Amino acid sequence: MVPSETSTARRRFLKLLATSPLLSCTGLPSGWMQALAAGQDRSGISSVQEALNVMDFEPAARKNLLPEHWAYLATGVDDDSTLRANREGFTRYQLRMRPLADISRLDMSIQLFGVRWNTPIVLCPVASLKGFHTEGEKGVARAARSKGHLQMLSTVTSTSVEEVNAARGEPVWYQLYARDQWSETLKLVKRVETAGCPALVWTVDLLGGSNRETFRRAQPPEGVRAPLCKNCHEGLRKPMYEGLAEQAGGEGSARAVYTWDGIKRLKDATRMKLLVKGIQTREDAELAVAHGADGIVVSNHGGRAGASGRSTIESLPEIAAGVAGRIPIILDSGVRRGTDIFKALALGATAVGIGRPYVWGLAAFGQEGVEAVLDLLRRELQMVMRQTGSTSISKITGASVVDRFGTIPSLTPSHSSGNR
């Protein structure tokens, strides 16, 4: 049973119990069960103040979106098993609590390429944000500015990089989908560099295409989409593609053929730092380092790329061992809690990215919702840092966690590699 079905069944049971004559035999106060039943229904939050965790924004976002918009955000690939694995993978690792440390001062800051950030929490690229709220990418940029978070902008943005940079108050990092023709890719790279973006994040995990069944099942019949929705993922204006040649294929089709020498071609074409996004094995992490990548993003596209059935958090230890602190590592996919962020940092990540959670906040309440999501995650991370006696990000190491088999990971921490 999927989580939404479980919640619905629980609410129905509690409501049934609340009206049952058996309730009088329990000795519980009048109205207690009704309140409990109502509390199980998270779809009714009407303000950001009501949210206790980032998951509370998910049903609120779903209520505001057309089914096909929601499906684009919610989909994984095939039967969504990799999407589920991303969440389940975090349960493999447990925390080693260390009380009685002096936790009067906490330092959550990190450095990436010489820039200090208030927290290790990164806003990952998500396409067509105006399809989820009219504030779109600008609303997210203003939230990132307000809270001091690193933001990556999708190639398939519904707002130009120039406008987003203006809203952010400084240039964002730019996520790149390479075009079929190198000359077209080069045009895109040069535009982004001219806009001042300091880093290019090349996504490679979709080069072979993806089979997003949940998204495809939710699409309206042919001819209905256009009048129904002018801001959908497929139909929304894509300003970064203006002036570029059309590409063959559509949603889920294979993209351009690129190999490892694509790293050198991109580095030769720009002064921006180059990160490779979509690394999932030690071998590929080592190849990325060998070919000159400035950083990597451990990602399976939130379960939307290949049907590996393997979570990114479970892939991280071998990747961190292969990188051995030489370049920064950012992890995304499945992050929902401060404890998730902590575990990723302990297992070798330099920073940790979120995607769906901040889009839930955006879809539910616009910029205010994004800010609330970031506040909740920061608060949760601060709490677990205090509970484990980790007074700075650098003190979160492999000794901070244990896997379910009782093994303490032996890793080379990569937090110190952020200045490369």
Q: Name the percent of the chain in helix, strand, coil, to the closest 5.
A: 45, 10, 40
Residue 301 known to be catalytic: yes
Angle 367-387/338-346 helices, nearest 10 degrees?
A: 60
Q: Per-residue DSSP letters for 7-73?
A: HHHHHHHHHHHHTSGGGGGTTPPTTHHHHHHHHT-GGG--SGGG-SSGGGHHHHHHHHS-HHHHHHH
Q: Which of 394, 393, 392 is nearest to 105 (CA)?
A: 392
Residue 263, φ and ψ in degrees, nearest 5: -65, -45
Torsional sign, CA 14, 20, 25, 31: positive
Torsional sign, CA 121, 127, 130, 133: negative
Q: Which of 69, 149, 301, 415 is catalytic?
A: 301
Instruction: Tell how many helices (H) and how many strands (E) occur in the chain.
Output: 16, 12
Show which residues are catalytic. Answer: 301
